[in-house]
Structure 1
Amino acid sequence: MRKTFLAVSTFFILWSCATEKGGNTSPVPAGVNAEQKSDSAGDLSLKISENANAAEISNLLSTFPVFSKKEVNDEVSALKYCLQNYLYAIDASNMKAKDKQLKGMQKSYRKIQKLRKSLNTDENDVLNRYLVRIKTNIAVIENSVNSKKK
């Protein structure tokens, strides 16, 4: 399970950090073309590979520390799994899966909030910083996805 998660995480991080291919000779940035296509087709997808918030979430997932309490680590793993699937669902324009993973993230987030009381002060502060950054980036992504629906 851990090797699979590590492989998926590594793939996603490499995929999200890929640079633009040199074969694009168009003077118009790729994001403008993609935006025009998505607006005309009524597509609600968000380009996760070009989204700074998704990239930050990927970086947070890859650098998430290990804590002294097994219960916290288990719930952090569940949160990371939901976050990865959430980003994949958005990239695939699967809003049903996105909503399911969002609920899973919220459930794990609440459990972590309860469990973090058992951590020492330093670990609690580090975990809080990660959770705040994740929550902020998810809120920005959700706002972007919801604004495209309108």
Structure 2
Amino acid sequence: MKKFFLSALIIIVFGSCATEKGNTSPIATGITEKKANTGEDFSVKISENANAAEISNLLSTFPVFSKKEINEEVSVLKFSLQNYLYAIDAGNKSAKDKQLKGMQKSYRKIQKLRKSLTIDEDNILNRYLVRIKTNVAVIENAVNGNKKQ
């Protein structure tokens, strides 16, 4: 009986962890456009953007890994992501682009370093990185698609 209860508990835990919140719409909400004196600019309301909210949630729940180098690079990635969201919220294109380049650099470095992780840690890290990359891509498409050609 004890074994059955333990098995059922493990199945329930894994089942509940396997389900993720689905993104109801691939289109970002809260996008507005404005013209600046120096050219075309953008503004995205981060507080109303579902993708930005998911990125913030991922940053706050990011796990700690067994390798110090990966944890340090994850900190750099998190810092760049936070500044990226702030730059978008402020409508600062140059800061957004700079932080995006920093995120890409950290992302590539993490991809190289993750080979030293255990399979379980690698899978967890991969899940976080894919979700971050997907949400950033949706935000970038919304910002870039919002500009007039």
TM bucket, shorter chain: 0.7 to 0.9
| 1:101 Cα offset (Å) | 0.2
Partner of 2:112: 114
Residue 44 of structure 1: CA displacement? 1.2
Partner of 1:7: none
- Provide structure 2 residue ranges, at least 5 long, that are not aligned to the other structure: 1-29
Instruction: Give me the CA root mean square deviation.
Output: 1.6
Identity of aligned residues (%): 78
Q: Distance in 2 between matches of 1:44 and 1:77?
A: 28
Normalised TM-score (structure 1): 0.73
Q: Which has the larger radius of gyration?
A: 2
User: Which of the pair is proportionally richer in strand?
Assistant: 2
Q: 1:40 to 1:115 in 2, by over 3 A?
A: closer
What are the Cα deviations for residues 20-72 of structure 1, in whole angstroms up to 9, with x where unaligned?
xxxxxxxxxxx5xx84xx45886510111100000000000000000000000
Query: How many residue pairs are counted as aligned between the two chains?
Result: 116
Could you list the structure 1 runs, at least 4 aligned residues long, displaced by more than 4 angstroms after superposition.
39-43
1: CA distance between counterparts of 2:35 and 2:65? Answer: 47
Structure in which a larger fraction of residues adopt helix: 1
Q: 1:49/1:118 Cα in 2 relative to 1: closer, same or farther (>3 Å)?
A: same
1:148, distance to aligned residue in structure 2 (A): 1.4
The alignment's TM-score, normalised by the length of structure 2, stands at: 0.74
User: CA 1:100 to 1:39, structure 2 compared with 1: closer, same or farther past 3 Å?
Assistant: closer
Aligned residues of 2:52 and 2:85 also touching (Cα < 8 A): yes
